[in-house]
A and B are shown apart, each in its own frame.
Chain A
Amino acid sequence: MVIEKKWKRWVYFYIPLTVFVIGTLFPFYWMLITAIRPDSELYRSWRAVNNAPFWTLHPTLEHFQDLFAKTNFPHWLWNTFFIACASTAISLFCGLLAGYALARLKFPLAGTIGTSIFVTYLVPPTLLFIPLANIIRAFQLGDTPWALILTYPTFLIPFSTWLLMGYFKTIPKELEECARIDGATRFGAMIWIIFPIAIPGILSAGIFAFTLSWNEFIYALVFLSSPEKKTVPVGVVSELIRGDIYFWGQLMAGALLGSIPVAVVYSFFVEYYVTGLTGSVKG
């Protein structure tokens, strides 16, 4: 180890790290404090003498109650969850098969297909949302969850394929060959031997896909129109602002509740996530 003096450790390590952590977390803290602050405390000018700017003297849950009683928030939560699960499942299915084929099988055009899938990952949704809106309308999928369930995999599949491909490459070929000598078919060896080993990779691809679809905004904004069919991000933007009036208490309560599910998923799997990433960085 490289040894350093105590004061150096403070200047070069503890102080910068603390500043970074505070800077990262402050907006979330402000979300929370706004969500539980009554309107009478909330709307004070920035220069007014405020007894407790960083704390509230009268914490209240009224914003949360209003969010559930007076808005479609429960619907949005359910829609977001359902859409994220369905498109994650589709993407993992496609990504697993494609990733295996690209990492393990020899066939003409393998390189070209691999590169094209990689390139589709780099096509941003904001380039395609206008023509896609036309296509969704033509398929009569507009304002249904299917518009999102079918389009989200376009940016989830390339990512999961890429990640799983890297993962499959780390699994030794001998495992598969042993199973084949024992009489398993190629397909059987893939399903029963290789896929179970790849579970950590599948999990990290799944977590990523789930959070990406939970976060998606522009497709959901363009393809959905009925208030009760929206997802959390779109619902919060379009329904919690009436005219020019921002209901900051409810908005921040909604933002907090919309953030918690993905934060929980990550906190459980953060180590998987980092290992998955390390694997794909190495590979």
Chain B
Amino acid sequence: MKKPIAGGSGGAAGIAAALPHAGASRPGRMTRWLESERLLATLLLAPAILLLGLFIAYPFVIGVWLSMSNVSVGNPGEFVGIKNFVKAWNDSIFRTAFWNTGFYTFWATIFKLALGMWVALLLNRHFRGKRIVRAAMLLPFIVPTVLSTFAWRWMFDPTFSVLNWMLYQGGFITTKLPFLSDGTYGMWCAIVVNTWRGMPFFAITLLAGLQTISPDLHEAASLDGANGWHRFWHVTWPLLKPVTVVVVVFSIIQTFSDFQLIYVLTGGGPANATHLLATYAYQIGIATGLLGEGAAISLFMLPVLFIVVWLQLRYLRRLEGA
């Protein structure tokens, strides 16, 4: 932390010397205006707010309007109230998708948290090649999900599956497993791939959190006779909790709204058994062209996301207050 500041103050001195007239000459009208914090803040925030307003807030409003209309591609449509929501709720595929989304999010988040914590604790030790191992463990998170999911799809291939080959050679199975051709298996495969992809994010963020914990605390605890598990439970975990909450919330939101993994791995099949809300909304809204119904389906994500965000904001505020 010390180094950049030292360099910066050197730079500051250099700039002040290079621009002696900056203070000497009468400041222009523009610069005097910028002295007002309120005006400067408005100017600095304008680009961000403009883009976010235009491409998040405005589409959100349009989305709510679409969800209450029967707009489809090439048809301006009209207001139909909550008909789309009722229709979705009575649709068995929608219900499967809704249930799948919850199931997928629940299990994937639990696995990612547990394995990510384990990996973070392993990587927090000192060993040779630490940097290389760290960089390697991050790979699944960095590489485009679509591309790595294709690798998994190929590994799950019904005829040429390398996983089946390994399990068969290892004597675990006698006939091939229907990885993606069976709905239940397909869902678990998606959870495995999601865990594989998202675990590094948990690991690296928790590792960053672990590094802020002073090793003295652990030494003191072990002098008091605490074993590994006790040290984790009574020293590490309480200090890591705020970071964990943030990571879990991000992960829940991303997993709950996931699209690309299912789109590539199963396409929602077999027979719509692995659809998530996002993939089903895409199928209805874009592939079929029923924009209104598709928008209604994706809006079903909103209450869950809202609750998660609300809980997090409340938790953060309580931390700041404490």
Asked if B219 and A23 make an inter-chain contact with CB atoms under 8 angstroms apart, the answer reads: no
B63, A128: Cβ atoms closer than 8 Å:
yes
In the assembled complex, A61 has its CB within 8 A of some CB on chain B: no
Whole-angstrom CA separation of A124 from B279 in the bound complex: 13
Alpha-carbon gap, A232 to B145, bound state (A): 11
Q: How far is the CA of A175 from the CA of B7 in the complex (A)?
A: 12
Which one of A42, A95, A120, A262 has the highest number of Cβ atoms from chain B below 10 Å of its Cβ?
A120
Residues 121 to 153 of chain A near chain B (Cβ within 8 Å): 122-135, 150-151, 153
Q: Is B319 an interface residue (CB 8 A)?
A: no
Among A48-87, those with CB < 8 Å from B are 50, 53
**Which B positions have Cβ atoms within 8 angstroms of A?**
1, 4-5, 7-9, 11-12, 15-16, 19, 22-24, 27, 31, 34-35, 37-38, 40-45, 47-49, 51-52, 55-60, 62-63, 66, 115, 118-119, 122, 125, 127, 131, 133-140, 142-148, 150-152, 154-155, 157, 159-162, 164-165, 168, 176, 196, 200, 204-205, 207-209, 211-212, 215, 218-219, 222, 228, 243, 249-250, 253-254, 256-260, 263-264, 277-278, 281-282, 285-286, 291, 294-295, 298-299, 301-302, 305, 308-309, 313
Would you give 11 A-B contacts (Cβ < 8 Å), ordered by A?
Answer: A13-B125, A122-B249, A124-B253, A124-B254, A175-B12, A187-B34, A192-B12, A193-B11, A218-B260, A252-B151, A255-B150
Q: A-B pairs with the 4 shortest C-beta distances? A: A183-B23, A124-B257, A126-B278, A255-B147
| B-binding residues in A (CB < 8 A) | 1-2, 12-13, 16-17, 20-21, 23-25, 27-28, 30-31, 34, 42-47, 50, 53, 90, 93-95, 97-98, 100-102, 105-108, 110, 113, 115, 117, 119-120, 122-135, 150-151, 153-154, 157-158, 161, 170-172, 175, 178-179, 182-188, 192-193, 196-197, 199-200, 211, 214-215, 217-218, 221-222, 232-234, 236-237, 246, 248, 251-252, 254-255, 258-259, 262-263, 266-267, 270-271, 273-274, 277-278, 281-282
**19 further A-B pairs in the complex, CB-CB below 8 A; given A21-B137, A130-B286:** A2-B219, A20-B137, A24-B200, A28-B143, A46-B165, A95-B48, A98-B44, A101-B40, A113-B45, A124-B278, A125-B257, A131-B60, A150-B55, A153-B55, A157-B51, A158-B52, A184-B23, A199-B4, A262-B142
